[in-house]
Structure 1
Amino acid sequence: MRDDELGRLLSDAFDAQARGAFGEHTQAPPPRFADELAAPAHRRWVRVGAPLVAAAAVLALVLTVAFISSGSDDGHRRLAGPSAAPSALASAPAASSSAAALAGPGRDTAVHVKLLNSDGSDYGVGMPVIAFFSKKIKNAKPLQDATTVTVDGKPATGAWYFEYSSANKGYPIEGHFRLENYWPANSRIHVAIPVEGLSAGTGLSYDNSLALDFRTHDRIVSTVDDSTHRMTVTDNGKKYGTFPVSLGASSTPTTRGTKVIMEKGRSICMSGPGYSECGIKWTQRLTYGGEYLHSAPWNIANIDDGRDSSNGCTNLLPTDAQKLYGFLGIGDVVIYPNANGPAMTLGAGYGDWNVNWSTWRTGGLVPTS
């Protein structure tokens, strides 16, 4: 084994051990709008001691890999089936503009892929699989053809749809993958994306493969009716409850269409034209632009009287907001059939369900056929 190969193996092994010690497999990467959270106190020792433990483990690992022939490993991370840890792969740095994949005739520019979704997570039935691409791919047909999905072990049919993205520096586009309809409730989902070495269009090749396993919980769908000023929540088709709301005022309307809960916060700061407030409680985000379900104790009179007066959010009574915060989850669907604002779009949040299936299957920004 050459010195440079041994050095690369040592570097890769240390990197993998350190990431594993930090527990990156257990939480999804933050979406584009999330503020960095302080590390919990019980993980402080891990951040200090983990590299030392990892270093010891690496020494043992290198003794093993030193006997591996140079042709047995090309240094790329590989898809490992249902037990793969895609969030570790998803956290890898963006490929540089000068990087090259080894597959295909000649040397193509490498395209690296990482996922927003976290392996092993529990999501609502509306949660799409979201991937970020380090280059603007030119042809998504090889990716589409290679991607497979199973629901409780049975094959299902899904498709990719692409848009420009500002979510991650160095990753100019994102692709969303879903079925024609919502994921089945209380199911195990496995998505395999074995694209390493495949073409991403002329002069481009993928440099990694990914796999993702997650579960869905109950089919929880909420409908916010602006004519009655009520939010009705159903759980597997059965009514869970109805709650009074105040939506956006005419000058700051609420978008209409199908939205998906993106993140949750017990107490956050919000700002916009003419306001900047902290301590907004029991928040559940619906759009990148700042629409939330949240507690609005200052707006109780308008909520009770059915008057739209918010800055676009769905204002709830404090007790209702807290109850729904505990019941709803990321990936749950919230439908606004008749809100007073413009139509919800894919790029405004996880707006996937506002694109009809025939359009979705074209691939959007990048053709899939």
Structure 2
Amino acid sequence: MSRTCPRSPFRTAALAGTAVLAAAALTACSGGSGAAKADEKGAKPDTRISVNLSGKQAEAGEPVRVTLAEGRLQQVTVTDSKGATLTGTVAADGRSWTSARKAAPGTAYTVEARDTDGGTATADFATAAPDKVNKLTLAPGKNTTVGIAHPLSVVFDHPVKNKAEVEKHLKVTTSNNTVGSWGWMRDWSGKDRVDWRPKAYWKPGTKVTLNADLNGVDSGAAGGWFVRDYTTTVTIGKNQLVKVDLDNHRLKLLRDGAEVKDVPMSGGTPGGDKASWRGKTVLMSKEGTINMRSETVGLGDAYDKMVDYSMRLTWSGMYAHAAPWNAAYMGNANKSSGCIGMDTPDARWVYDQVQVGDPFEVTGDDAKGTQALNNGYGEWNLSWAEWQAKSALR
């Protein structure tokens, strides 16, 4: 003969900072190891669950833990006010559940628990609003196609002191199990930055996804909390690279390992600040026609020109572009103010062929040194071991 379980309203109380629920709905109503003992009137006592976070100003950055006083938990669901859920795991003994992620600041949550006898209970709490919020900028942009040298790059609005904790929440997945590593640096802008670089150039056609599951992560002193997750997905395009030989004044485009075109060029004037940087750099952007002014790169009033087919290689102002005013030096001398100059038809052709993310490998003695790590994407100038050492998890 079946019988109906007694039901009564939930009662909440504060007990040593823990929200405690007395829930008749969680009373075990069938026999077995989880059953509660009946009193002399045949009624079952309330089964109690506790949640480690309670009230309206709970501390963020902690996993949600739900504990059952008697019986075994079957399922716990924690949902925020926007409908997102915190997944978690029931312990082997069935007495507790812990969320996989931490509670985010400034967020209201509802906890729903179900035991193995079918009883349910709910609880509510909210976390305190953050004093400061940290945000980030991702590159490449979402759903873009880039060249074989483009790293995944994350620049943070505020300082990141808890680098290891943040890095744990940055997850890269690829369509072909590409090996890579994160590396931390100070961006050219002065902000904290972390890039993910493959061990070798990407394979064409690779699909890459970055999930920055940062909601509820504290970036540390002066940095603030992250209050959302981020994601970006990119595809690796054609297998091509540009080789720039400063000493022989030539620029070559290679595709799938074969030379496609060889054009004369003129690099930066050697022996001073106007010399070009050498090393493996990455095409950051194709900017078309732009105004280049020498005072923006610390060269006084040397020039102020509108420049066509401009391709940015560094933050410090090194470009490849059309330089018809330097036509007499193309192929025989380096006489620019630091950029890689070509005749206009050649610059137009190169501009049309290259992709953002293509490597430009600049060699030669007529340089002022190797491009710095943070001056654009300079990570390819480090060995694999040197790059791995820049991870906060090493």
Common fold by TM > 0.5:
yes
| Structure 2 contact 266–335 (Cα < 8 Å) conserved | yes
Q: Which runs of no fewer than 5 residues in structure 1 stay unpaired?
A: 1-70, 80-98
The 5 Å alignment of 1:220-259 reads 220-250=240-270, 251=272, 252-259=274-281
| Structure 2 contact 284–311 (Cα < 8 Å) conserved | yes
1:301 is paired with a residue whose SS is helix
Matched residue type, 2:253: V
Match of 2:119 in 1: none
Match of 1:265 in 2: 287
**Aligned-residue offset at 1:311:** 0.3
| Structure 2 contact 144–234 (Cα < 8 Å) conserved | yes
Matched residue type, 2:279: G
Cα 1:281–1:342 change in 2 (3 A) is: same
Which is richer in helix?
1
The 5 Å alignment of 1:196-345 reads 196-201=215-220, 205-250=225-270, 251=272, 252-272=274-294, 273-304=300-331, 306-338=332-364, 339-345=366-372
Deviations 1:202-238 (A, max 9, x none): 7964322212111111121111112221112111111
| Structure 2 contact 105–216 (Cα < 8 Å) conserved | no
Which is richer in strand?
2
- Distance in 2 of aligned mates of 1:173 and 1:134: 8
Matched, 1:143 2:162: no
2:290 is paired with a residue whose SS is strand
Identity %: 23
- Distance in 1 of aligned mates of 2:199 and 2:107: 35
**Aligned-residue offset at 1:342:** 1.5
Count of matched residue positions in the alignment of Structure 1 and Structure 2: 273
- Distance in 2 of aligned mates of 1:278 and 1:78: 55
| Structure 1 contact 232–241 (Cα < 8 Å) conserved | yes
Matched residue type, 2:237: H
Matched residue type, 1:266: G
**Aligned-residue offset at 1:166:** 5.7
**Aligned-residue offset at 1:135:** 2.5
**Aligned-residue offset at 1:122:** 1.0
The 5 Å alignment of 1:69-80 reads 72-74=79-81
- Distance in 1 of aligned mates of 2:163 and 2:383: 19
1:275 is paired with a residue whose SS is coil
CA RMSD of aligned residues (A): 3.0
- Distance in 2 of aligned mates of 1:77 and 1:363: 34
TM-score (norm 1): 0.66
Cα 1:158–1:192 change in 2 (3 A) is: farther
Which of 191, 210, 214 does residue 191 from structure 1 map onto? 210
- Distance in 2 of aligned mates of 1:224 and 1:286: 12
**Aligned-residue offset at 1:302:** 0.7
TM-score (norm 2): 0.62
- Distance in 2 of aligned mates of 1:255 and 1:101: 47
Q: Which runs of no fewer than 5 residues in structure 2 stay unpaired?
A: 1-77, 87-103, 109-126, 295-299
| Structure 2 contact 79–85 (Cα < 8 Å) conserved | no
Match of 2:180 in 1: 158
1:127 is paired with a residue whose SS is coil
Cα 1:332–1:101 change in 2 (3 A) is: farther
Between the two structures, name the one with larger relative contact order (CA 8 Å, sep ≥ 6). Answer: 1
Matched residue type, 2:317: G
Q: Name which of structure 1's ranges 198-207 and 244-253 shifts more when overlaid on structure 2.
A: 198-207
Matched residue type, 1:276: Y
| Structure 2 contact 80–107 (Cα < 8 Å) conserved | no
Match of 1:120 in 2: 143
- Distance in 1 of aligned mates of 2:199 and 2:139: 20
Match of 2:199 in 1: 180
Q: Name which of structure 1's ranges 309-318 and 351-360 shifts more when overlaid on structure 2.
A: 351-360
- Distance in 1 of aligned mates of 2:168 and 2:384: 17
Matched residue type, 1:243: V
1:256 is paired with a residue whose SS is strand
- Distance in 1 of aligned mates of 2:353 and 2:359: 13
**Aligned-residue offset at 1:146:** 3.2
Q: Name which of structure 1's ranges 334-343 and 105-114 shifts more when overlaid on structure 2.
A: 105-114
**Aligned-residue offset at 1:263:** 1.3
